[in-house]
Every structure is written in structure tokens, then in C-alpha cells.
Structure 1
Amino acid sequence: MSEPSPTRPARSEASVGVVQALVAYGLWGLMPLLFAAMAPAGAFEIVSWRIVFGLVFCAVAILATRSWLRTRALLVQPRVMGIMGIAAGLILVNWTVYVAATTTGHTVEAALGYFINPLVTIALGIVVLRERLRPLQWIAVGISVVAVVVIAVGYGRMPWISLALAFSFGLYGLVKKRVGGTVDALSGLTIETVWLLPIAVGALVVLGVTGLAGGLTFAGEGGVHVLITVLTGPATAVPLLLFASSARRVSLSTLGLTQYLAPVMQLLVGVLVQHEAMSPSRWVGFGVVWFALVLLTIDSFTAARRSARRDPVPEPA
């Protein structure tokens, strides 16, 4: 009797997770190009349509995956709804600042915000969660403070856009951590956009009636503009869902390494496509931040190795 032919091994969960993370951060890195293509729409209109069509996409996804019972169960829990309402407010601030930055010639400063974000997350862990840091983490946080000072001196002002993005997203992650084991990615995004829908509709009505900030451009710029505006829904939801799925499959150190892809791409878009100026002081400031991130990455991998040595995988019986 002949031996059975060996079956082709299935792709590991970790490799799938890495691909999902790279696609998610790649899409986030290209987001400034999408917002630029929506011109002459202003930041408030872009964010409002992003919420409206994001909710439409979530509703379709919930119907397709038949997960409405799970989402409905979360909608009747006051604690979950309260926490998700706070998360919605923080992500609204983040989206508005980011869209305003990338549509007014400040994409590089926005990219800096997401380079700083991992360091801000660590700082929030110290202040809010009373976490204890390893020596190399303390050094990385200290270096990031120096970087902000260097950039502020070069700008002649504090990099408020960068700090607003870093802290709003850092706080958003902190709030989401409170319900991380209860709320799945699709239900969470749906609840957040439900919270934000009245604000989005109100903003669209005000823009249409008053003509503020250029008014509404949705129906007045042709079919291509309408299509691009509608695509902000899946462009918002798909990276978040991919990221959430990736986070369940890969280690924190691997995920932390892939997250630098988005701000690198944003920086390239700002410099090469939108031709934003990069003064010597900016390059120095970015260089100091990158050095801090290298230290943080080394520390993450070292800590992961030590943990693996302490808790070896048992031999199969």
C-alpha cells in the first residue's frame, strides 16, 4: 500500500496576521491621497461623510456576517455604550484633526503624530494604569520629549497637530482596552459610528444651509467625486477590521513593528507627492523620534525573548 502524499501545510495564523497588519497600515498610510482626491470638500464634510458611509458599510457587514444579535446585545448594555461613547468622541477628534492636517499642507506633521503615538501610549500607561517601565522604555520616552522640544524650536511653536493626533489616538486605545474582551471589532466600530451619526448629519445640514467652509460638494463635483466620497466608508472600516483581526493572531512586538509603516508612508506622501517642506530642524526632530522608536523596538523583542525563555513551549506528548 503506497504512502499517502503529504498535504500542503496551511498558512500559519501568524503569517496571516502579519499580512493583515501590513495591509491595514498600508491603507492608513495612503489615506491622505484619498482625502486630497475629495477636494474641494473641506475637513468637516469629509469627516461627516466618512461617518455616514462608514455606518452603512458596518450595517452591510453585520448583515453579511449575521452578527446582528451580538451587536444588539451590546447596544443595551449602559456601561459598554458609555465607554464606546467616550471612544467615539476621541476618534472624532482624531479624524477631524487628521483630515484637516492632510488637506491643508500638514501631512508631515500628521505623520510625526503617529510616530510619537507608541511613546505616548507608554506614557499614558505610566500615568493612568500605573505601569512600571523597563529602563530602555524610560530612555525612549525621555528621548521622545527631547524630540518634541527640538521640533518645537524648529517650528517656532509646539507641534500641536502631532500632539493632538498622538494623544487622541493613545487615549482612544486606552478607552477601547476597557472593553477589549467584550466588544468585537465590527460591533465596536458600528456602535462608535452610531454615536457619531447625529453629529455628522447635523454638520452636513449646517454646511448645506449656511455654506460655511465651502458648503457641501457631494452632489456638485461629478460622479467620480461622489464615488470617492462613498468609498470613505469602506476605507474607514476595512483597515480597522483588518487591524483587529491581526491583533488576535500576532505578538505585540510584531504588531508594534508593523505600525511604523503608516507614518512612513504618510511622510513620503507629504514630502514626495504634496511637496511639503522638510527643514533641517524637522529632519533632526524626526531622527530623534526614530532613534527612540528603535530603542523601543529592541526592548520589545528583548522582553519577548526573555518571556519565551521563562515559559518554554511544552513538548508534544
Structure 2
Amino acid sequence: MSASKRRAAWIPYAGLLVLFWGVWGAFSSLPTSKYGYPDPMVYVIWSITMLIPAYFSLRGRKIDRRPIAAVYGLLIGLTGAGGQLVLFKALTIGPAYIIFPIVALSPAITVLMAFAALRERLTALSWIGVGLALVAIVLFSVSSGDSQETGGTYLWLAIGVCVAWGVQAYFMRKAAVVGVNDATTFGWMTVSGLLLIPVALIMMGGLPLSFPWQAPALTAITQLLNAVGALFLVMAMSRGKATIVAPITNALAPVLTIVLSLIVFRTLPSGFQVAGIVLALVGSSLMVYSTEKSGEEPAAAPAREAAS
């Protein structure tokens, strides 16, 4: 394979990731809105579908059996799975075109945690991204009063997901510093998702039995898009530079979700919401680019680990 083809090998996987996650985001609330399917049951089905990409991710790869790998793996997995559990609830009461831009601001949490805990020096792009994220949250808060009952609720749930996934990304970086490979991390993410199934069942009071077969079938289809998209992310990141792959996928998947949501559900956001969406995506992309660029500097990781 030529050098140019190797450099472009990540593009098909990144494109599939954007397609799968974009479509999943736009239609993931359908089982609940159309059939009244409980959002904890959506989580249960998602956690099971994660077994499919986990199989392909782990096949032929060496599992890191060190205790530190298990600790970081569980921290990464539980924050990620917990975020999913909250996300499915948020999507039952709020619009996807607002929720996903808020969730995309999770790099702000990662950046601020690295600044506080690891004493990392933040670049100007990182600070600009954090500033835009804060302005975006304010704009979303101003515009969330359109529903007395759910306007504030889905906003806070989305912020909760943002925090959980920002913490998850922080621990991913810590795991990478100590040499935990991606396959091991993905495996623990899958295990953690399955571990929270009892929590989802308790939230429902048991397995629901009075729903048409279309509800779990539609849930399985949409959540399979979510799970396989995660596999495409791993494949894209292993074949391309993080400074290119991460910002593109972080920004374009929510954009596709927003476009599809607006077209299919024929809902127009307010002026404040449009401004918030734009600032959230731009700020998130700046933070992701800055974070991944610093992570590719050879001496950066050891220096940060020694400082912590």
C-alpha cells in the first residue's frame, strides 16, 4: 500500500462513524416516542449490542491483565455507560438537536480536569473552546424555557452526560499514559455496560412485557448503529492522526444528527438555540483538536504523569 493510501485509510471508517452515530442520534428516541418503550430498556438493549463491536475489537488482540488496566477500564466503562443511561432518559423528553451539541461539549470537562489534576498547560485554542462552551450552555439555558415541565430537565440531564463523558475521556488519557491498549479499554467498556443492566431493570421495576415487537426491534436497530459506530471510531483512530480524526468525528456526527432531526421531525430551533449549537460545535472541535495535538507530542505524556 502506498504512503498516500495509508494516510487516507482512516477516512472510510470516520465516514461510517459519522453516518452511524449521526443517524443513531436522530432516531434513537423513536422507540420511546412512538411506542412508549421505557428508556432503561433502551439502555439494556444498547449494552447487549456492545458485545458485537467488542468481539471484533478484541479478536486477535492481547488483553492487558494488569490491575491498573482493570481500574481504569472500570472507571472508563462506568462513566461511559452511566452517561448512556442518562442520555436515553434525556432523549425521551428533549430534542436531539439540542441534547447532542451539549453532550459534544464533554471535552471541556476533560480539558479542565487535566488543567486541575495534571497541571497541564492549556493552549489558547483550549481556552477559547472552553469559553465558547460556557456561552453555548448559557444560550441553551435561556432557550430551554419553552416547556415548563421538561425544558430545564433535559438540559440538566444533557449536562450530566457531558460531565460523565468528559470524565471518561480524562481517564482514557490516563489509561493511555500507563500503556493500556484500546482493545482492553473497549472490553472493559462493554463489561461495565452489562454491569449496569440491573440498575436499569430496577429503574423499570422489572422487564416490560406489554410492548409490541416493533419496540425492541427498532431499539436494537438504532442502538446497533451506536455500538458499531464505536467500533468505527476505534478503527479510524488506529489508522489516522488523532488531531485530524477526533475533531472531524466529534463535530460532524452531531451535525448530521441535527440536520436529520430538523428534516424528519420538522422542528425549527430558536435563534438562541441556533447560536448555542454553532458555538457548542465550534468550541468542542477546538478543544478536541488542541487536546489531541498535545497528546501527540512525544514528551508530553511522561511529563504530565510525573507532574501528577
TM-score surpassing 0.5?
A: yes
CA separation in 1, counterparts of 2:131 and 2:20? Answer: 31
Whether 1:13 and 2:10 are equivalent positions in the alignment is no
Tell me the SS of whatever aligns to 1:16: coil
* CA shift digits 1:2-53 (9 cap, x unpaired): xxxxxx8476222111221221132111113452443432210010121123
* Superposed displacement of residue 286, structure 1: 2.5
Which among 25, 35, 47 is matched to residue 51 of structure 1? 47
* Superposed displacement of residue 141, structure 1: 2.0
* CA shift digits 1:205-262 (9 cap, x unpaired): 77464x7xxx346xx423x555444446643432222212222322233123312011
Answer with 116-125 or 258-267: which moved more.
Answer: 116-125
Tell me the SS of whatever aligns to 1:178: helix
- Between the aligned residues of both structures, percent identity stands at 19
Structure 1 residues 10 and 284: CA distance shift in structure 2, 3 A: closer
Whether 1:143 and 2:132 are equivalent positions in the alignment is yes
CA separation in 2, counterparts of 1:18 and 1:178? Answer: 27
* Superposed displacement of residue 108, structure 1: 2.0
Which among 88, 111, 120 is matched to residue 99 of structure 1? 88
TM-score by length of 2: 0.76
Report if aligned partners of 1:53, 1:232 keep a CA contact under 8 Å in 2.
Answer: no
Structure 1 residues 227 and 184: CA distance shift in structure 2, 3 A: farther
Which among 142, 159, 162 is matched to residue 158 of structure 2? 162
Q: Corresponding residue for 1:269? A: 260
List aligned pairs for 1:1-317, cutoff 5 A. 9=2, 12-39=5-32, 40=35, 41-55=37-51, 57=52, 60-61=55-56, 65-67=59-61, 70-71=62-63, 74=65, 77-156=66-145, 159-180=155-176, 182-201=179-198, 203-204=200-201, 207=204, 209=206, 215-216=208-209, 220-222=211-213, 224-231=214-221, 234-258=224-248, 259-290=250-281, 292=283
Structure showing greater Rg: 1
CA separation in 1, counterparts of 2:223 and 2:274? Answer: 34
* Superposed displacement of residue 293, structure 1: 5.3
Structure 1 residues 240 and 299: CA distance shift in structure 2, 3 A: closer
TM-score by length of 1: 0.74
Residue segments in structure 1 that go unaligned for 5+ positions in a row? 1-7, 308-317
Residue segments in structure 2 that go unaligned for 5+ positions in a row? 146-151, 298-308
Q: Return the letter of the residue paired with 2:194.
A: L
Aligned length: 283
Structure 1 residues 182 and 239: CA distance shift in structure 2, 3 A: farther
